[in-house]
Amino acid sequence: MFAFTYHRPHSLRSASAMIHKVEEGKLLAGGQTLLPTMKQRLAAPSDIVDLMQVPELKGITVKGSTVIIGAMTTHDEVATSAAVGEAIPALAKLAGGIGDPQVRHKGTIGGSVANNDPAADYPAACLALNATIITNKRKIGADAFFKGMFETALEPGEIIKAIAFPVPSKANYQKFPNPASRYAVVGVFVAKKGKDVRVAVTGAGQNGVFRARTMEAALAVKFNAKSLQGVSIPADGLNTDIHAGADYRAHLIGVMAKRAVAAAV
């Protein structure tokens, strides 16, 4: 690892001031991605701004029919939150299926969403639940936030404060996990709110998380696993790697989507 200067601000305002003042700074959340990247010398920030002591980024609140989760909330806190479990059980289940206990106790929702790993679970939840990413500067809808593999709408130094999830009437997440890391080979999050049905796929797309519009249209007619019979996702544009080929991923999307709908109803 290269040498760097470590900062520990105690407010969002000072975190923002620090990250803009330094030469090549990086925000640190749970460190589950950033620190391995630095150890492998794939990143060499001059300064690290640790968000751990920033109180504005913590906590889970339910306001009306919206669940708001602070960026520094760990996956374990989401998984075990009674408020999340009651309002959006699919989201609590998703968080409980991330990585292993060590990763869940350190990794944060803000870090995961900011990182936008193409195999991460939360981006699928954000997209399917039509979440809003709240930063220290603005509010960004999930459709506009996820731009591509490891790419988001965040500007340099912009800090995610919280993520607001509208409570759906029905939702479920099914993942075919990599047996070693638990990252999604394919994960499908299905959500219904009123007449609006959204299906988001992670782990499969060459450009990261995406919405399966043909599945959404079929499910909008009738929200039932049978509606997905004959609706297939083309393998073009899907990933092929050592874990799975594009054809297999396309097949898995269908299987996971049907399971998610069946579980949601």
Ligand X SMILES: Cc1cc2nc3c(=O)[nH]c(=O)nc-3n(C[C@H](O)[C@H](O)[C@H](O)COP(=O)(O)OP(=O)(O)OC[C@H]3O[C@@H](n4cnc5c(N)ncnc54)[C@H](O)[C@@H]3O)c2cc1C
Among 183, 210, 211, 254, indicate the residue that binds ligand X (CB under 6 A).
183
Q: Please tell me whether residue 239 binds ligand X under the rule CB under 6 A.
A: no
- Closest approach, Cβ 28 to ligand X, in A, equals 5
Q: Applying CB under 6 A, which of residues 121, 168, 173, 201 lies at the interface with ligand X?
A: 121
51 is a site residue for ligand X (CB under 6 A): yes
Residues in 29-48 that interact with ligand X by CB under 6 A: 29-34
**Residue 111 interacts with ligand X (CB under 6 A): yes or no:** yes
Can residue 163 be called a binding residue for ligand X (CB under 6 A)?
no
Residue 27 binding ligand X, by CB under 6 A = yes
Cβ contacts of residue 27 below 8 Å, gap of 6+? 15, 19, 49, 51, 114, 159
Residue 135's φ and ψ, nearest 5 degrees, are: -110, 180
Asked whether position 85 contacts ligand X by CB under 6 A, the answer is no
Query: How far apart are alpha carbons 10 and 184 in whole angstroms?
Result: 34
Q: Which of 139, 153, 136, 198 is CA-nearest to residue 173?
A: 198
- Between 51 and 215, CB nearer to ligand X: 51
Contacts of residue 210, defined as CB under 8 A and 6 or more positions apart, other chains included, come to 127, 200, 201
Q: Does 132 bind ligand X (CB under 6 A)?
A: no
Span near ligand X by CB under 6 A; candidates 20-28, 217-225, 226-234, 238-246? 20-28
Residues of this chain that interact with ligand X (CB under 6 A) are 26-34, 51, 71, 75, 98-99, 103, 107-108, 110-112, 114-115, 120-122, 154, 159-160, 181-183
